[in-house]
Chains A and B, each alone.
Chain A
Amino acid sequence: MTDAPARLALEGVHFRYDAGAEVLRGVDLTLAAGELVGLIGPNGAGKSTLLDVASGLARPTAGRATLEGRPLARYGRRALARRMAVVPQRPDLPAAFTARSVVAMGRTPHQGFFASERPHDVEVVEAAMRRTDALRFAGTPVGALSGGERQRVVLARALAQEPAWLLLDEPTAHLDLRYQADLLGHAATLAHTDGLGVLAVLHDLNQAARFDRLVLLDRGRVAGDGPPEAVLEASLLSRVYRTSVRVLPGPPPLVTTDGGA
Chain B
Amino acid sequence: MPRQAVRAPDGAARRWAVRGGSLAALAAVLVAAVAVGSVPIAPGEVLDALVRGVRGRVEGTRDVIVWQVRAPRVALAAVVGAALALAGTAYQAVFRNPLADPYLLGAASGAGFGAAVAMVYGGTAGAAGLAALGVPGAAFVVAFATVVAAVLMARQGGRLPIVSLVLAGVVLGSSLSAATSFVMLTDRERTAGVLAWLLGSFSFAEWRDVAVVAALLAVAGPAGFAARRAFDLLLLGEASARRLGLPVERFVWAVVGAATLLTSAAVAVAGVIGFVGLVVPHAVRLAVGPEHRDLVPLSLAWGAAFLVAADLLARTVIAPVEVPVGIVTALVGGPFFLILLRRGRPT
Instruction: Tell me if B10 and A106 are in contact (CB < 8 A).
Output: no
Question: Which chain A residues border B290 with CB–CB below 8 Å?
Answer: 94, 96-97
Q: Which residue of B lies closest to A122 (CB)?
A: B7
Q: How far is the CA of A82 from the CA of B245 in the complex (A)?
A: 8
Instruction: Tell me if B9 and A138 are in contact (CB < 8 A).
Output: yes
Task: Give how many B residues have a beta carbon under 8 Å from the other chain's beta carbons.
Answer: 28
Question: Which chain A residues border B291 with CB–CB below 8 Å?
Answer: 97, 101
Looking at the assembled complex, report how far the CB atom of A257 sits from the nearest CB atom of chain B, in whole angstroms. Answer: 33
Of the candidates B2, B6, B240, B245, which one forms a contact with A88 in the assembled complex, judged by CB atoms under 8 Å apart?
Answer: B240
Chain B CB within 8 A of A161 CB: yes
Question: Which chain B residues border A37 with CB–CB below 8 Å?
Answer: none
**Cβ < 8 Å to B, chain A residues 181-206:** none
Chain A CB within 8 A of B171 CB: no
Chain A CB within 8 A of B244 CB: yes
Q: How far is the CA of A113 from the CA of B236 in the complex (A)?
A: 19
Given A82-B245, A86-B243, CB of A105 within 8 Å of CB of B232: yes
Number of A-B contacts (CB under 8 A): 86
**Cβ < 8 Å to B, chain A residues 37-91:** 55, 57, 76-78, 80-82, 84-86, 88, 91
Of the candidates B5, B227, B229, which one forms a contact with A105 in the assembled complex, judged by CB atoms under 8 Å apart?
Answer: B229
Chain A CB within 8 A of B257 CB: no
Of the candidates B237, B245, B289, which one forms a contact with A108 in the assembled complex, judged by CB atoms under 8 Å apart?
Answer: B245
Looking at the assembled complex, report how far the CB atom of A108 sits from the nearest CB atom of chain B, in whole angstroms. Answer: 5
Looking at the assembled complex, report how far the CB atom of A32 sits from the nearest CB atom of chain B, in whole angstroms. Answer: 22
Question: Which chain A residues border B243 with CB–CB below 8 Å?
Answer: 55, 57, 81, 84-86, 88
Instruction: Tell me if B236 and A81 are in contact (CB < 8 A).
Output: no
Chain A CB within 8 A of B310 CB: no
Instruction: Tell me if A98 and B10 are in contact (CB < 8 A).
Output: yes
Instruction: Tell me if B236 and A138 are in contact (CB < 8 A).
Output: no
* Proximity string of chain B (217-246) to chain A, C-beta cutoff 8 Å, 1 when within and 0 when not: 000000000110100110111011011111
* Proximity string of chain B (90-131) to chain A, C-beta cutoff 8 Å, 1 when within and 0 when not: 000000000000000000000000000000000000000000
Instruction: Tell me if B247 and A76 are in contact (CB < 8 A).
Output: yes
Q: How far is the CA of A93 from the CA of B347 in the complex (A)?
A: 13
Chain A CB within 8 A of B342 CB: no
Question: Which chain A residues border B244 with CB–CB below 8 Å?
Answer: 81, 105-106, 108-109, 157, 161
Q: How far is the CA of A161 from the CA of B2 in the complex (A)?
A: 22
Given A77-B245, A96-B289, CB of A108 within 8 Å of CB of B233: yes
Chain A CB within 8 A of B55 CB: no
Q: Which residue of B lies closest to A52 (CB)?
A: B239
* Proximity string of chain A (114-145) to chain B, C-beta cutoff 8 Å, 1 when within and 0 when not: 10000000100110010000011011000000
* Proximity string of chain B (152-171) to chain A, C-beta cutoff 8 Å, 1 when within and 0 when not: 00000000000000000000
Q: Which residue of B lies closest to A109 (CB)?
A: B245
Question: Which chain A residues border B3 with CB–CB below 8 Å?
Answer: 126
Q: How far is the CA of A80 from the CA of B6 in the complex (A)?
A: 27
Instruction: Tell me if A105 and B233 are in contact (CB < 8 A).
Output: yes
Instruction: Tell me if A92 and B347 are in contact (CB < 8 A).
Output: no
Looking at the assembled complex, report how far the CB atom of A15 sits from the nearest CB atom of chain B, in whole angstroms. Answer: 16
Chain B CB within 8 A of A14 CB: no
Instruction: Tell me if B2 and A138 are in contact (CB < 8 A).
Output: yes
Chain B CB within 8 A of A100 CB: yes
Looking at the assembled complex, report how far the CB atom of B328 sits from the nearest CB atom of chain A, in whole angstroms. Answer: 30
Q: How far is the CA of A97 from the CA of B36 in the complex (A)?
A: 41
Question: Which chain A residues border B347 with CB–CB below 8 Å?
Answer: 96
Looking at the assembled complex, report how far the CB atom of B341 sits from the nearest CB atom of chain A, in whole angstroms. Answer: 15
Q: How far is the CA of A136 from the CA of B247 in the complex (A)?
A: 33
Question: Which chain A residues border B233 with CB–CB below 8 Å?
Answer: 105, 108
Q: Most A CB atoms within 10 A — which of B232, B236, B245?
A: B245
Q: How far is the CA of A125 from the CA of B5 in the complex (A)?
A: 12
Q: How far is the CA of A111 from the CA of B293 in the complex (A)?
A: 14
Of the candidates A77, A101, A105, which one forms a contact with B247 in the assembled complex, judged by CB atoms under 8 Å apart?
Answer: A77
Looking at the assembled complex, report how far the CB atom of B253 sits from the nearest CB atom of chain A, in whole angstroms. Answer: 14
Instruction: Tell me if B235 and A94 are in contact (CB < 8 A).
Output: yes
Instruction: Tell me if B226 and A77 are in contact (CB < 8 A).
Output: no
Instruction: Tell me if B245 and A91 are in contact (CB < 8 A).
Output: no
Question: Which chain A residues border B247 with CB–CB below 8 Å?
Answer: 76-78
Question: Which chain B residues border A113 with CB–CB below 8 Å?
Answer: 226-227
Instruction: Tell me if B2 and A108 are in contact (CB < 8 A).
Output: no
Instruction: Tell me if A57 and B245 are in contact (CB < 8 A).
Output: no
Instruction: Tell me if A57 and B242 are in contact (CB < 8 A).
Output: yes
Of the candidates B6, B226, B235, B242, which one forms a contact with A135 in the assembled complex, judged by CB atoms under 8 Å apart?
Answer: B6
Instruction: Tell me if A100 and B240 are in contact (CB < 8 A).
Output: no
Could you give 16 example pairs across A and B, Cβ below 8 Å? A76-B247, A78-B245, A84-B243, A88-B239, A88-B243, A92-B237, A93-B236, A97-B235, A100-B6, A101-B10, A101-B291, A105-B232, A105-B233, A105-B236, A139-B5, A157-B244
A positions within 8 Å CB-CB of B: 55, 57, 76-78, 80-82, 84-86, 88, 91-94, 96-98, 100-101, 105-106, 108-109, 111, 113-114, 122, 125-126, 129, 135-136, 138-139, 157, 161
B positions within 8 Å CB-CB of A: 2-3, 5-7, 9-10, 226-227, 229, 232-233, 235-237, 239-240, 242-247, 289-291, 345, 347
